[in-house]
Amino acid sequence: MKAAKMTTIAAMEPLLPDDNKELEDLATDLVAKASGLATRLHPVLRASVGDLVRSMNCYYSNLIEGHNTLPVDIDRAMNNELATEPERRNLQLEARAHIEVQRMIDRGEGPSPVMSEAFITWTHRHFCERLPAEMLVVENPGSGRKITMAPGVLRSERVRVGRHIAPDPADLPAFIKRFAEGYTSSNLSRLRKIIGVAASHHRLAWIHPFLDGNGRVTRLFSHALLRELDVGSELWSVSRGLARSVANYKTMLQAADEPRHGDLDGRGNLTLAGLTEFCRYFLSTCIDQIDFMEGLLEPSELLRRMEIWAREETAAKRLPKGSWPILRMAVLDGTFARGDAADITGYATRQARTVLNELINQGYLISETTRSPVRLGFPASVVDRWFPRLYGGGQ
């Protein structure tokens, strides 16, 4: 590919929008709403919901990449039930890789700080190491040459993404160093750093550090950065909002790639107006997704939906009688001892144990061992009833 080598990191400027009251108001709103959502559930139930949200995040991130992996296939992949058909199996492995890396991020197992080359390459390495070998063979869109990508290694090829010519490979370390320094400056207020999550989402995609996997790494990076700033959590995912407005998401990314449009469009190389508009879109999408999950996780409404479902399933003899009081306790208390099942149901010990074991066998409850406490599970078969619109329709 014939491309002029970028010799200055100034090609990436500006890194942040100018002071902007609308963006600061959005960042303030995001902090307040995220804080409210974080206190919504019992900590144990929150962990169970986190497993579900990671699956959802993977599903929507896959959609953005053009990979439609069904929720039930993702669920099966997490249980190591892989399809025999190669393409479907590969998508399951890709989904599982995404979920496992996000779980590591949610547990704080990645390098610190998030805004670093170490974290960016760690994310790419751990994701790609879990992929089948054939998914690491990529084609350079410029030269058409097929290359086996090394997990976690910055690209050594020049690339073009649409109209955007990404930085020369030799310049990547300098761009990433400037990227990390610019968004962690001690001069930035907390609100400016939250606005920086949105801006850095675009700029990391613009740098395009790897031959493939940049979109997924960028979204995981943003998730981790929001968590580091005590705004993100395992209870919501911006990827759902980005995927549900994917045409707008990609248009906004491309618009922010544009060069500065005259003297009234900032003083950097790239358009200030395009970056500002992308930040407005990204922060608004975060708020929309928190609002969505806030409504979905409202305890009385969640219990109402679950009770209707349980009564229907019991009437159809797909659930044993006495199931609903046990499920209700799992929502309200987060976890309880197996021996409590008799008191919860009012049944004799043996009968209560039979009901409890059936709920565990069907995945509605989870227990690590035969003696461990139980907590709520979310098998793919009930998600549409317990959490409507999580995977389709609505906001």
Q: Which pLDDT belongs to residue 117?
A: 97
Domain boundaries, the chain: 41-242, 299-386
Q: How many Å is the Cα radius of gyration of the chain?
A: 23
Which parts of 283-348 are beta strand (E)?
A: 335-336
- Asked if domains 41-242 and 299-386 share a fold, the reply is no
pLDDT over 90 percentage in the chain:
81
Q: Is the pLDDT of residue 6 over 80?
A: no
CA angle 64, 239, 392 (to 5 degrees): 80
pLDDT tens string 331-341:
999 999 999 99
Pairing of strands 374-376, 365-366: antiparallel
Contact 257, 270 (CB under 8 A): yes
CATH 3.40.1800.10 describes domain 41-242: no
Q: Alpha-carbon distance 320 to 322, whole Å?
A: 6
Mean pLDDT score of the chain: 92
Q: Which fold has domain 299-386?
A: Arc Repressor Mutant, subunit A (1.10.10)
Average pLDDT over residues 30-34: 96
The number of helices, as runs of H, and strands, as runs of E, in the chain is 16, 7
Q: Which pLDDT belongs to residue 2?
A: 45
Which parts of the chain are beta strand (E)?
A: 137-139, 146-148, 160-161, 164-165, 335-336, 365-366, 374-376
Q: Which pLDDT belongs to residue 164?
A: 85
Q: Is the pLDDT of residue 1 over 50?
A: no
pLDDT tens string 294-309:
999 998 999 999 999 9
- pLDDT confidence tier of residue 48, bands split at 50, 70 and 90: confident
Q: Which pLDDT belongs to residue 219?
A: 97
Location of structure tokens 């962690």: 184
Q: Alpha-carbon distance 41 to 59, whole Å?
A: 23
Q: Is the pLDDT of residue 393 over 80?
A: no
pLDDT over 70 percentage in the chain:
97
Q: Alpha-carbon distance 53 to 47, whole Å?
A: 10
Q: Which pLDDT belongs to residue 307?
A: 97
Residue of 93, 97, 108, 123 lying closest to 209 (CA atoms): 123
Least confidently predicted of 57-66, 122-131, 136-145, 195-204? 136-145
pLDDT tens string 211-239:
999 999 999 999 999 999 999 999 999 99
Q: What is the DSSP string of 151-181?
A: TT----S--EETTEEPPPGGGHHHHHHHHHH
Average pLDDT over residues 373-380: 92
Q: Which pLDDT belongs to residue 39?
A: 83
pLDDT tens string 308-325:
999 999 999 999 999 999
